């Protein structure tokens, strides 16, 4: 009897268990279909948003402001004063969206059109191939590796002052060619190199240089190289030496043998001295061009010549109380001294100096509002016999500027 009872109990248990299982599986079927539907929908959405190998990004810079000038020119003992002001300060206004187009991890295209005082122009248009660790190969139209200011520090949202140091960026060409560059670790130090082969500069009829010719003016290519050295493990100091060598005269012209030899030395140092962040930047450019004869602008049957030697230098120091609280930590004080000496006895020779001081307010890490005062002195060394001497000029300018990285 007890055996029969036991069998009965087991049968009831099996029945109840199978009943429960049927109910659970029925519930599962209902739940699964809705979840599966939802998952399918999500998968569809994710497939639209999943990261591909390519990425197109638009960044760039916009800089605008106001400048008020007072200029005094003294020629033959007679002075004239001019006061002007302008929206924007023409030399520094720009709206430059930059297109970065990445193909996987090996290729990057960079294109930066710019609307500025030259109208619509292009700052660079190039393709970089990340060929190997420590080797990037670039081709196209790019800023040459001559010093660091033009390539790294000139953008309005990076520059601590509203103006560029005179002569420095002007002596750094943008040109068509091919470039090899990279950064390498060397123990606790680092070095970086940058070597470019380009069409090169072109000597103009007054002895100045121009660049960026898509058709080379001679068959000689210009070599530009920079070697950077970061001796400290925290990368706080970088020292660089650059050289640019090539023929500058037009093929078949009287000046076809003329060459240009340029050198640049740069320094960048950053130091945290609580509560301040101190940044020192400097660059010294030297430009030597072969002595050639130019046609006189006064009498085209005559020629003239001069020692075509140009130098430019700047030293800048900025101070930001990053350790302070609130309003103070967004302020930055900057000062800069610049010299720019162009060839004496030419039609454009002068010795120029500027002193600039500025106070910046950082609205964000890439948005800045600047007030800069700049004092300029220019003493003409141009040829009097060519009617090019224009006396001495002194200018005081206040700039109010806003710059943002887009």
- If binding is defined by CB under 8 A, does position 326 make contact with other proteins? no
- If binding is defined by CB under 8 A, does position 227 make contact with other proteins? yes
Is the preceding peptide bond at 275 cis, omega within 30 degrees of 0? yes
Reported as type and span, the H/E element at residue 17 is: helix 2-49
Question: Which among 260, 265, 310 is positioned nearest to 286, based on CA atoms?
Answer: 310
Nearest approach in angstroms of CB 406 to other proteins is: 11
Structure tokens at 61: 């810079």
- If binding is defined by CB under 8 A, does position 187 make contact with other proteins? yes
In angstroms, the CA 62 to CA 403 distance is 6
Which residues touch 293 (CB under 8 Å, ≥6 apart)? 254, 255, 303, 304, 305
Among 1, 46, 57, 78, binds other proteins (CB under 8 A): 57
Among 362, 369, 373, 389, binds other proteins (CB under 8 A): 362
- If binding is defined by CB under 8 A, does position 292 make contact with other proteins? no
Burial 247-285 (b: 16+ CB within 10 A, else e): bbbbeeeebbebbbebbbebebeeeeeeebbebebbbbb
Question: Look-up: residue for tokens 């006895």?
Answer: 345
- If binding is defined by CB under 8 A, does position 329 make contact with other proteins? no
- If binding is defined by CB under 8 A, does position 344 make contact with other proteins? no
Cβ atoms of residues 285 and 196 within 8 Å: no
- If binding is defined by CB under 8 A, does position 247 make contact with other proteins? no
Would you give the distance in Å from CA 371 to the centre of its chain?
21
Among 71, 72, 74, 192, binds other proteins (CB under 8 A): 192
Question: Between residues 40 and 363, which has the closer beta carbon with respect to other proteins?
Answer: 363
DSSP letter at 383 equals -
Question: Which among 164, 199, 186 is positioned nearest to 90, based on CA atoms?
Answer: 164
Question: Between residues 24 and 135, which has the closer beta carbon with respect to other proteins?
Answer: 135
Query: Taking CB under 8 A as the rule, which mask of x and - marks residues 196-215 in contact with other proteins?
Result: --------------------
Question: Between residues 101 and 115, which has the closer beta carbon with respect to other proteins?
Answer: 101
In angstroms, the CA 402 to CA 66 distance is 9
> Which of these segments, 2-10, 11-19, 88-96, 129-137, binds other proteins (CB under 8 A)?
129-137
Among 186, 204, 254, 298, binds other proteins (CB under 8 A): 186
Nearest approach in angstroms of CB 333 to other proteins is: 15
In angstroms, the CA 147 to CA 144 distance is 9
- If binding is defined by CB under 8 A, does position 133 make contact with other proteins? yes
Question: Between residues 26 and 186, which has the closer beta carbon with respect to other proteins?
Answer: 186
How would you classify the pairing of strands 276-289 and 259-273? antiparallel
What residue ranges bind other proteins (CB under 8 A)?
51, 55, 57, 59, 100, 102, 105, 108, 110, 128, 130, 133-134, 136, 138, 151-153, 157-158, 181-188, 190-194, 225, 227-229, 233-236, 238, 241, 243, 261, 263, 268, 270, 277, 279, 286, 288, 307, 309, 362, 364-366
């Amino acid at each position: 009897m007890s055996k029969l009872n036991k069998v009965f109990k087991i049968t009831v248990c099996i029945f109840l268990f199978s009943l429960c299982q049927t109910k659970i599986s029925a519930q599962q079927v209902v739940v699964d279909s809705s979840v599966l539907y939802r998952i399918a929908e999500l998968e569809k959405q994710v497939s639209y948003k999943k990261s591909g190998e390519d990425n197109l990004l638009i960044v760039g810079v916009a800089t605008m402001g106001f400048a008020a000038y007072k200029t005094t020119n003294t020629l033959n003992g007679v002075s004239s004063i001019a006061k002007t002001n302008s929206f924007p300060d023409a030399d520094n206004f720009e709206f430059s969206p930059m297109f970065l187009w990445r193909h996987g991890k090996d290729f990057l295209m960079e294109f930066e059109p710019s609307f500025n005082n030259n109208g619509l122009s292009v700052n660079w248009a190039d393709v970089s191939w990340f060929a190997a660790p420590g080797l990037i190969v670039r081709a196209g139209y790019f800023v040459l590796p001559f010093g660091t200011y033009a390539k790294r520090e000139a953008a309005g949202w990076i520059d601590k002052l509203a103006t560029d140091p005179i002569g420095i960026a002007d002596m750094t060409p943008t040109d068509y060619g091919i470039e090899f560059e990279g950064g390498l670790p060397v123990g606790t130090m680092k070095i970086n190199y940058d070597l470019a082969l380009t069409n090169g500069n072109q000597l103009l009829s007054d002895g100045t240089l121009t660049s960026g010719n898509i058709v080379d003016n001679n068959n000689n290519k210009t070599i530009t190289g920079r070697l950077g050295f970061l001796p400290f493990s925290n990368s706080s100091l970088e020292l660089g030496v650059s050289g640019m060598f090539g023929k500058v005269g037009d093929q078949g012209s009287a000046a076809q043998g003329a060459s240009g030899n340029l050198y640049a030395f740069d320094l960048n140092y950053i130091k945290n001295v609580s509560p301040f962040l101190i940044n020192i930047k400097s660059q010294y450019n030297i430009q030597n061009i072969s002595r050639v004869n130019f046609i006189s602008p006064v009498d085209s049957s005559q020629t003239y010549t001069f020692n075509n030697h140009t130098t430019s230098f700047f030293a800048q120091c900025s101070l930001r109380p990053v350790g302070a609280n609130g309003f103070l930590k967004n302020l930055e004080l900057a000062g800069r001294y610049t010299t720019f000496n162009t060839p004496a006895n030419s039609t454009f020779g002068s010795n120029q100096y500027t002193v600039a001081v500025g106070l910046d307010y950082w609205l964000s890490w890439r948005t800045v509002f600047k007030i800069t005062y700049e004092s300029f002195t220019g003493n003409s060394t141009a040829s009097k016999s060519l009617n090019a001497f224009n006396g001495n000029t002194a200018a005081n300018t206040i700039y109010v500027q806003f710059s943002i990285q887009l």
